[in-house]
Amino acid sequence: MPLRDIPSVEQLLQQAGPLAAEYGRPLLTRAIRETLQDVRQDVQAGGSIPPQQETLQQVRSRLAGWTQATLEPVINATGVILHTNLGRAPLSRAATRAMQAVSADYSTLEFDLQTGKRGSRLVHAGQVLKELTGAGDAMVVNNCASAVLLVLAALAKNKKVIIPRSQLVEIGGGFRVPDVMKQSGAKLVEIGTTNKLHLHDVNEALEENPGALVMRAHRSNFRLVGFTEEPGLAETVAAAHRHESILLDDLGSGALMDVEKYGLSHEPTVQESLAAGADVIMFSGDKLLGGPQAGIILGRADLLVKIRKHPLARAVRADKACLAALTATLLHYLKDEAEREIPIWRMISTPLEQLKARAEAWQRETSLGEVARSESTIGGGSLPGETLPTFVLSIPVSSPDKMLAKLRSHSPPVIARTENDRLLFDPRTVTEEQDQILSRAILALQIQR
């Protein structure tokens, strides 16, 4: 077949009119050029010229591929509440609204309405944080990892930092407490053994290393069980203060509420850390706080002045959308409505019978599998090994991995888990608005009954 019978770019551009409105002319032209190149190669290799409709279809899929979002919402049916790979905590309605409002318009990010002069972004969320926790001062940065880096750089550069061996944790993604210390210019002084730390270890280290700081890093993603011992935070703080040292507490999750009432084991709270006298504490915004990605630093006002002045503070500052969403999230705690309004707390506190009823409704709608007891997890490097009883829809399938892939290619994608050749769908992490979509996604799998 002669190459000159292949349509020209101009011809196809005319045919593809509506696509130009959707994707813009330059991108459409590029897609047509590349598609025609393929056709030419095909023809040279002895193939025939495809019908115009087919060529246009190829142009269309090229454009769709190029403009496909890589960051998009998914339905989390895994039952892992703080799923780090799925973006950790979903936000409350108020937080989402606040984020949208300051993003779509100008805002008072660094503007004081009273004086009409330049303000500071550091005031946002700070007031509510102080109100909520009674901390001397507060500031917000990009995430907890940057909070730890900034605090160490500002307070412990060229100084020694005493930390128990059992707390030299790796958070994930290569974030290791010893490496962060090195980055900040602090010198690590390890004390105790992997399983045991005595108060006299702390005291001795403080005596041997005058001017050293003391740090605690919460073991947020693993548990230490068996023959173990560790002094309480208040005792450790007292030892540090007796030696005119300060204690930095990397709390990780930063729970503002007790989790025991939901049948989970104790997670240190921000209030406890402050009550124990920790001088500076750091925690995440998107773990058990249930807000946006953020790092929160609370503590003694004189120390926070130094932290704010450090050049790294600018490098790790929080953006306006984060500050707006965080403030809105914190207000839920202040107004005692966290359990009702913050999605992760609503998920954690959902009564078992409600979960069962929803799993049963999915079963009825799909006529597939059966409702079974299972477990939801907190995830996100919070409360390791802790589970909440739940009910799942459990569907036996012959090729579970293929089914999981099919669910992922659904629009919106559905993320589920498998166990012993069964697909499991946990209602705890699925919102009620997503119920219908999920049932339809399951039906689309066309599983044989």
Length of the chain: 449
The nearer residue to ligand PLP, 62 or 287, going by C-beta atoms, is: 287
**CB contact set of 261 (below 8 Å; sequence gap of 6+):** none
User: Least distance from C-beta 188 to ligand PLP, angstroms?
Assistant: 16
Closest distance to ligand PLP from the beta carbon of 305 (Å): 23
* Nearest distance from C-beta of residue 121 to ligand PLP, angstroms: 19
Q: What minimum distance in Å lies between the beta carbon of 423 and ligand PLP? A: 30
Q: Which is nearer to ligand PLP, 31 or 255 (CB)?
A: 255
Q: What DSSP assignment string belongs to 271-285?
A: HHHHHTT-SEEEEES
Q: Which amino acid is at 388?
A: L
Distance CA 159, CA 277 (A): 21
The CA distance from 30 to 18, in Å, is: 16
Instruction: Provide the residue type at 203 as one letter.
Output: N
In this complex, which beta carbon is closest to ligand PLP, that of residue 66 or of residue 222?
222
User: Cβ of residue 233: shortest distance to ligand PLP, in angstroms?
Assistant: 14
Question: Is residue 351 within 8 Å of 430, Cβ to Cβ?
Answer: no
Cα torsion 115, 116, 118, 119: sign: positive
- Complex with ligand PLP: residue 249 or 400, whichever CB lies closer: 249
The answer to whether residues 95 and 87 touch, using CB atoms and an 8 Å cutoff, is: no
The residue to which tokens 């309605």 are assigned: 93
Q: How far is the CB of 115 from ligand PLP (least distance, A)?
A: 34
* C-alpha span between 205 and 427 (Å, rounded): 50
Could you tell me the two tokens for 362?
């999915």
CA dihedral 63, 64, 67, 73 (to 10 degrees): 180
- The answer to whether the beta carbons of residues 289 and 329 sit under 8 Å apart is yes
Cβ-based nearer residue to ligand PLP, 377 or 390: 377
| Nearest to ligand PLP of 218, 358 (CB atom) | 218
Smallest gap from residue 310 Cβ to ligand PLP (A): 18
Residue at shortest CB range from ligand PLP? 252
Which helix (H) or strand (E) covers residue 394, if one does?
A: strand 387-396
H runs (alpha helix) in 301-399: 301-309, 311-315, 320-334, 338-341, 343-349, 352-366
| Minimum CB–partner distance for residue 381 and ligand PLP (Å) | 4
Question: What is the distance between the terminal CA atoms of the chain, rounded to a whole angstrom?
Answer: 50
CB nearer to ligand PLP: give 231 or 295.
Answer: 295
Query: How far is residue 359's CA from residue 372's CA, in Å, rounded to a whole number?
Result: 9
Tell me the angle at which helices 233-242 and 199-208 cross, rounded to the nearest 10 degrees: 20
By CB under 6 A, name the binding residues for ligand PLP: 143-145, 148, 171, 217-218, 220, 250, 252-253, 284, 295, 381
Can you tell me which residue has the tokens 């040292």?
245
Q: Give 291 or 427: the residue with its C-beta nearer to ligand PLP.
A: 291
Question: Smallest distance from the beta carbon of 181 to ligand PLP, in angstroms?
Answer: 12
Task: State the minimum distance, in angstroms, from the CB of residue 378 to ligand PLP.
Answer: 12
- In terms of CB distance, is 35 or 253 closer to ligand PLP? 253
Compare residues 189 and 248 and give the one whose CB is closer to ligand PLP: 248
